[in-house]
Structure 1
Amino acid sequence: MFKCTGVCSTCGRCKGAAMMSGANDRKTRMLAYPADFKPETGGEGLGIAFDIGTTTVVGMLWDLKKGEQIATCAKTNPQNEFGMDVISRITFCGKEGENLELLRNKITGCLNEIIAETCEKAGAQKTEIVRATVCGNTTMSHLFAGYPPMTLALAPFAPAYTGTLKMSGKEALLDIREDGTVVVLPNIAGHVGGDITAGIVASRVLDQKGLSVFIDIGTNGEIMLTDGSTSYACSTAAGPAFEGSAILHGMRAATGAIERVRIEDGEVFFKTIGECEPQGICGSGLIDAIAQMIENKLISKSGRLICAEDVDKKHLNEKLKEHLIEEGGERRFVLISKESGEDIVITQNDIREVQLAKGAIAAGISLMLQEMGKNVEDIDRVIVAGAFGNYIDKESAVTIGVLPALAGEKILSAGNTAGAGVSMALASEKELELAERIPQLVKHVDLAARENFQETYLGAMAFR
């Protein structure tokens, strides 16, 4: 089974590093700051903020005197080589004593490349950087700081440290001033990390009136529910399907990736990133494809893909027959038939992977609502962070059930809130102080410990 690692030399699907760079750069274009954010001015030197994602790492260079962001850079997390998800990397750490150091050197090496590139863009020197802030999920924060993450894979998923971490540039292995200050934003729980802390800061979700759901869906899924006075957060094992991994023809959101799909009158229409020949399908395209297949009665509520013979029985468009095939004992839907090269298809297994991912998110939202004694109808807004929120079609996300069935205006895309929040903590002591308080303001909910988790999860896997 092909799995996109984000490293082009692994599979070649993204056709070179330039295309993958384009996928990473999407993250740098999603930084949005709240209207009331006021960066401090009058400081000395430069600062850099890092959002360490499981898949993508983003760095933002700031002029602390002017209070301005002056350069950004994004790269694929090189730890992908050792596993696409955090559990794989934790397992790798536990195998050999030196593996933790290896993974730490991988990520700090990546951060130092970002430091070099942003300084070059800004015409600055690395020694001018006197401060850095870092956020990531709990595992990424552990690996960056050199803490063993093995306890995060075992109940009760206790982290090796709590609170805000502070170290020098030298201790952090960063190419900044050796006596510079490095601050790692605090995690909320074992699998609700500093990236969510940063996201809460940037989204201002705690200041909103009514009931708000904040969701950050990447390789890991984190959900927060708040009414302004009471706040809960949880993590869900969404898996990497929405980032194109574990999908037969899945890929990152690079040039050539199918990002939009429509089925009309039995024909498939699509749009690729870069409007060029399709190479595979990314998360937004996958959600569109599954939603369209549901709308056209090609997928049952249980997630079963129909066969060509079922087209007549269901009185569907005859043209759909040519898209429904069986290969290796598995049903497949042909999105794009190529004259040369491999057809791009959605397999029965792909559909199951989407069900697992969306079921985890939907179950998390449902259980958090139960915890607060609320219903879906009580939700005033859903704030969706990250690339997932920025590029998905809201209607498609609602159709497959990964987002609650709400009116479109209640679903808001917030962009890279982790990157924005960690930058805000760099540029303002007030924002850093807020970030440091958040773990005390938000109660963690351990979904797996709930008696009805399995039942809720299995129910949430079904399509509406």
Structure 2
Amino acid sequence: MSVKLTLLPSGEAMQVPLGTLLKDALPQGSVELICSGLGTCGKCRVQIISGLVPPTAHEQALLSGQQLRMGIRLACSYQLWQDTEVLLPPRETTASAQWLDCLPEQTSPNLLLAVDLGSTNLKLALLSQGEWEIVAQAQVSNRQKMFGADVLSRQHFANEHPQGRRLMQLLVVESLNHGLRLLRQEAPTPFSITRVAIAGNSVMLALLLGLQFTAGVDVAKLVREYPLAQAPATDLGLDVDESAQLCLLPPLANYVGSDMLACILTSDFGSGTEPALIVDIGTNVELALGTQEVIFVCSTAAGPAFEGGEISCGMSATLGAVHTVTWAADHYQVQTIDNAPAIGVCGSGLFSAIAAARDNNQLAANGRLASTELRLTAHVALTQHDIRQFQLAKAAVRTGIDILLAQAEISVDAITAVYLAGDFGKHVAVPDLVACGLLPEELVGSVAKIERGCIEGIIRYCRQNTEAVAALLARIEHVELAAQLAFQERFVANMLIGPAVPYREVE
């Protein structure tokens, strides 16, 4: 027995078996499945126009009464028991391509493709191989994110589904080819790509290669030793010249990827004699603390809160996202991307809102709101659950910083420079990071933001000799946070919102 499912606004109709989960009936990419369809993130929202059935327990937990009355449901929980019309959310895209002033007429037509393999977005840059100048750049969404915002969810899907590994590989390769198509469409003259260099998280690189791995496997070693890492790029299905060689920058540890190596190279971090810190914030946060002798690195799972995931009004940094919040007499004033009407809060806006609420005494240090919600605009508000998700993510990052300081046996006062990497680091206000307790107060005047850190690092890697790279890699020491005795105690202390207790006092 089947029922009719009609998708709006397209009007596409189909017959599906009775009782099918809506997420399984929808075309791929129709909704976000940040939690891989486990019913925990609440992002796969759709509006049921007709055929509405009572809400599930997951829907009652993650949606407000008003949303439920409006017919808002979760595609991962909603079962089709009768003919149904469903209104799908608009498809979000971050795709863009741009050719810069230094056009191919001034360079060789044989170009190098550098790729920052992010879990959310992929950044591509075309470089002249003689002058190493960036002549064009593009950004596209990583289509893997429909199977989970974090790398662990994607790893689970790849291992548990019969065609999971192949699908993960196809999705990221197709995303890269989409970026290449955009670059070719905008190109003033034809060009050839004769070399491809890629940096990214260790798991992301393994998924790109289609490797099989399970928990406990040294993924970084698996990637470094895989022969395809120096094979023709067309073996992966990339739309480049048949002779184009593939180079993967070596990942540093299981969840500390070669994107961190690229950031180290970009900042000249490894050549300095004074202690310095790199913070690359995303779903998976990577940290590096360098001294003259050793570069300590670690990763910590912050989850998707800083990218809008698991936040009731959270969204990516796109049109209409609140990015700055201030208090004005008796209400909050917000600034949004492109000054569009506010429809949600992105990561930098989340920090700004919480810092403003703490300053205005509407949020206690323990994370308790003074009222039932933190109302920013008529349509955007943060809940108590949102604040708790923020606390968990913030505590994970700050605890990683504290433990690296302890490993290096230095105080926070000894750090002379802090480099913020990634898109989040580029947009967030440093005073908000300090006010919320993610960065120690002592570092507020030492922060610099790395623009295009990963791409610039790929360029430096390709230009350096192998001996210099090997010497740098020999100085790197991975710190496993979960193995540290003080981790749990420090994590709990860092749940407080505001300046944290110095690590030595807890130790």
**Structure 1 length-normalised TM:** 0.83
Q: How far 1:401 moved relative to its partner?
A: 0.9
1:358 maps to which residue?
Answer: 394
Q: How far 1:148 moved relative to its partner?
A: 1.9
Quick check: 1:162–1:187 contact (8 Å CA) kept in 2? yes
Which residue identity is paired with 1:294?
Answer: R
> Between the two proteins, what is the percent identity of the paired residues?
29
Count of matched residue pairs = 413
> What are the superposed Cα offsets for residues 400-443 of structure 1, whole Å, 9 maximum, x if unpaired?
111121253211111231122124334x244x765555432210
1:332 aligned to 2:373? yes
Q: How far 1:208 moved relative to its partner?
A: 2.9
1:397 aligned to 2:433? yes
| Secondary structure of the structure 2 residue equivalent to 1:58 | strand
Structure 1 residue corresponding to 2:407, chosen from 344, 350, 371: 371
Relative contact order higher in (CA < 8 Å, ≥ 6 apart): 1
Unaligned 5+ segments in structure 1 are 32-40, 308-330, 338-342
Equivalence map 1:112-261=2 (5 Å): 112-125=177-190, 128-151=192-215, 154=216, 159-162=221-224, 165-261=229-325
2:132 maps to which residue?
Answer: 67
> What are the superposed Cα offsets for residues 277-316 of structure 1, whole Å, 9 maximum, x if unpaired?
1111101111000111111112222111123xxxxxxxxx
Q: How far 1:377 moved relative to its partner?
A: 1.9
Q: How far 1:66 moved relative to its partner?
A: 4.4
> What are the superposed Cα offsets for residues 207-265 of structure 1, whole Å, 9 maximum, x if unpaired?
23421011100111010001232210000111111111111000010011001001132
Change (3 A) 1:436 1:132: farther
Quick check: 2:33–2:147 contact (8 Å CA) kept in 1? no
Quick check: 1:197–1:438 contact (8 Å CA) kept in 2? no
2:56 maps to which residue?
Answer: none
**Partner Cα separation in structure 1 for residue 219 and residue 168 of structure 2:** 20
**Structure 2 length-normalised TM:** 0.76
> What are the superposed Cα offsets for residues 362-403 of structure 1, whole Å, 9 maximum, x if unpaired?
000000101111122222121111112211111111011111
**Partner Cα separation in structure 1 for residue 358 and residue 145 of structure 2:** 32
1:461 maps to which residue?
Answer: 495
Which residue identity is paired with 2:197?
Answer: T
1:58 aligned to 2:58? no
Which residue identity is paired with 1:106?
Answer: L
Which residue identity is paired with 1:451?
Answer: L
1:445 maps to which residue?
Answer: 479
List 4+ stretches of structure 1 deviating above 4 A. Answer: 2-5, 9-17, 41-44, 155-159, 432-437
1:77 maps to which residue?
Answer: 142
**Partner Cα separation in structure 2 for residue 403 and residue 210 of structure 1:** 19
Which residue identity is paired with 2:396?
Answer: A
Quick check: 1:45–1:65 contact (8 Å CA) kept in 2? no
1:278 maps to which residue?
Answer: 342
Structure 2 residue corresponding to 1:381, chosen from 386, 408, 417: 417
> What are the superposed Cα offsets for residues 56-108 of structure 1, whole Å, 9 maximum, x if unpaired?
10000122244321111101110011101011001101112321011001001
Quick check: 2:220–2:252 contact (8 Å CA) kept in 1? no
Quick check: 1:20–1:254 contact (8 Å CA) kept in 2? no
Quick check: 1:163–1:186 contact (8 Å CA) kept in 2? no
Which residue identity is paired with 1:45?
Answer: N
Change (3 A) 1:157 1:142: closer
Which residue identity is paired with 1:144?
Answer: L
Quick check: 2:98–2:137 contact (8 Å CA) kept in 1? yes
| Secondary structure of the structure 1 residue equivalent to 2:236 | coil
2:80 maps to which residue?
Answer: none
Change (3 A) 1:259 1:134: same
**Partner Cα separation in structure 2 for residue 429 and residue 179 of structure 1:** 22
**Partner Cα separation in structure 2 for residue 214 and residue 28 of structure 1:** 28
| Secondary structure of the structure 2 residue equivalent to 1:178 | coil
Which residue identity is paired with 2:363?
Answer: I
Quick check: 1:217–1:385 contact (8 Å CA) kept in 2? yes
1:300 aligned to 2:364? yes
Q: Which has the larger radius of gyration?
A: 2
**Partner Cα separation in structure 2 for residue 175 and residue 290 of structure 1:** 45
**Partner Cα separation in structure 1 for residue 287 and residue 477 of structure 2:** 12
> What are the superposed Cα offsets for residues 131-177 of structure 1, whole Å, 9 maximum, x if unpaired?
000011011110111212423xx477775333683111222321111
1:87 aligned to 2:158? no
Give me the CA root mean square deviation: 2.8
Q: How far 1:10 moved relative to its partner?
A: 5.8
Change (3 A) 1:124 1:63: farther
Change (3 A) 1:405 1:209: same
Quick check: 1:60–1:423 contact (8 Å CA) kept in 2? no
Change (3 A) 1:124 1:436: farther
Quick check: 1:261–1:269 contact (8 Å CA) kept in 2? yes
Which residue identity is paired with 2:404?
Answer: M
**Partner Cα separation in structure 2 for residue 447 and residue 136 of structure 1:** 21
**Partner Cα separation in structure 2 for residue 433 and residue 121 of structure 1:** 39
Deviates more, 1:165-174 or 1:231-240: 165-174
1:414 maps to which residue?
Answer: 450
Quick check: 1:93–1:150 contact (8 Å CA) kept in 2? no
**Partner Cα separation in structure 2 for residue 407 and residue 192 of structure 1:** 23
**Partner Cα separation in structure 1 for residue 93 and residue 343 of structure 2:** 13
